[in-house]
């Protein structure tokens, strides 16, 4: 049997939001790999697959990979080369290594780093990618706020993007999604109040699809008064209400 690497998106956290394909892959993988750096993220990803792994009669090896917490590019490359080597070593021995990641492997995931390191150092290794449900749409479902219709433009904006950039983007988007935004929540609301999103609906979803899930939905105008805990897994969706006016035919 030839070994390979499988990048598996396990979805937002609820074990039922894994795909059938992800479940099958996790039932047969020889090694299950998780990033160690952000222990909270790793434990949430592991939590989503725990039952599948516990139900196995032949438990897989658990391989924790340390991801760099630095911005130093050469340090990142050094650590990632070591991770790639640990994975390649097992693949060489015919093992199937499943790297699990919350959400989707190609969407703000540490898998991208492993993927690129593998391609650089072990270009012959087979890599399969199983997409997953992202927090993007899972949060929209929880907040009951349609993310996009017809000709609406959606912008996905990570936590550290500059305030002026956010202002610029707000002129061209109908929906904006701010990833892991809790720390900057008040600052972002202030920006939104002076933008075309001034009269928008805003939803904050914490720990979407998990037992600790919390949702707040309201108006941008009132959001400055909200007191929100600084939870890493918080997402904010804003949707221009006037965008709906322009809606045309359905298909």
15 binds a second copy (CB under 8 A): yes
Binders of a second copy among residues 162 to 191 (CB under 8 A) are 165, 168-169, 171-173
Q: What b-and-e string marks burial along 185-213, b requiring 16 or more CB atoms within 10 Å of the CB?
A: beebbebbeebbbeebbbbbbbbbbeeeb
Q: Contact, 130 vs 25, CB < 8 A?
A: yes
Binders of a second copy among residues 59 to 88 (CB under 8 A) are 67-71, 73, 76
In whole angstroms, how far apart are CA 12 and each of 37, 41, 46, 115, 178? 19, 11, 12, 21, 15
Element (H, E) at 205: strand 201-206
Binders of a second copy among residues 129 to 148 (CB under 8 A) are 129-134, 136-138, 140-141, 144-148
**CA neighbours closer than 13 Å in the CB half-sphere of residue 180:** 10
Please pick, from the candidates 23, 53, 191, 221, the single residue that binds a second copy as defined by CB under 8 A.
23
Between CA 74 and CA 72 the distance in angstroms is 6
37 binds a second copy (CB under 8 A): yes
14 binds a second copy (CB under 8 A): yes
C-beta of 114 vs 227, nearer to a second copy: 114
4 binds a second copy (CB under 8 A): no
Stretch touching a second copy by CB under 8 A, among 92-100, 188-196, 219-227, 241-249: 241-249
Instruction: Compute how many other C-beta atoms are within 10 angstroms of the C-beta atom of residue 4.
Output: 16
C-beta of 141 vs 191, nearer to a second copy: 141
153 binds a second copy (CB under 8 A): yes
C-beta of 81 vs 224, nearer to a second copy: 81
112 binds a second copy (CB under 8 A): yes
Q: What b-and-e string marks burial along 126-153, b requiring 16 or more CB atoms within 10 Å of the CB?
A: ebebbbbbbbbebbbbbbebebbeeebe
Please pick, from the candidates 104, 118, 203, 204, the single residue that binds a second copy as defined by CB under 8 A.
104
Smallest distance from a second copy to CB 98, Å: 14
């Amino acid at each position: 049997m030839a070994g390979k690497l499988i990048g598996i998106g396990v979805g937002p956290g609820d074990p039922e939001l894994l795909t059938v394909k992800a479940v099958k892959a996790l039932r047969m993988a020889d090694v299950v790999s998780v990033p160690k750096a952000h222990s909270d993220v790793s434990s949430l990803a592991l939590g989503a697959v725990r039952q599948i792994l516990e139900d196995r009669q032949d438990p897989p090896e658990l391989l924790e990979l340390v991801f760099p917490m630095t911005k130093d590019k050469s340090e990142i490359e050094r650590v990632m080369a070591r991770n790639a080597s640990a994975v390649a070593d097992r693949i060489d021995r015919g093992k199937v290594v499943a790297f699990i990641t919350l959400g989707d492997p190609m969407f703000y995931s540490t898998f991208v780093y492993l993927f690129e390191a593998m391609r650089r150092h072990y270009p012959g290794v087979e890599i399969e990618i199983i997409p997953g449900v992202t927090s993007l749409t899972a949060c929209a479902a929880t907040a009951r706020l349609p993310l996009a219709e017809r000709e609406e433009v959606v912008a996905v904006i990570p936590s550290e993007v500059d305030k002026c950039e956010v202002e610029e983007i707000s002129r061209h988007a109908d929906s904006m999604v701010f990833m892991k935004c809790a720390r900057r929540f008040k600052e972002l609301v202030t920006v939104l109040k002076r933008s075309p999103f001034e009269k928008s609906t805003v939803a904050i979803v914490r720990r979407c699809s998990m037992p600790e899930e919390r949702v707040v939905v309201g108006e941008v105008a009132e959001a400055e008064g909200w007191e929100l805990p600084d939870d890493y897994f918080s997402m904010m969706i804003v949707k221009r209400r006037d965008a709906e006016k322009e809606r045309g035919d359905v298909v």
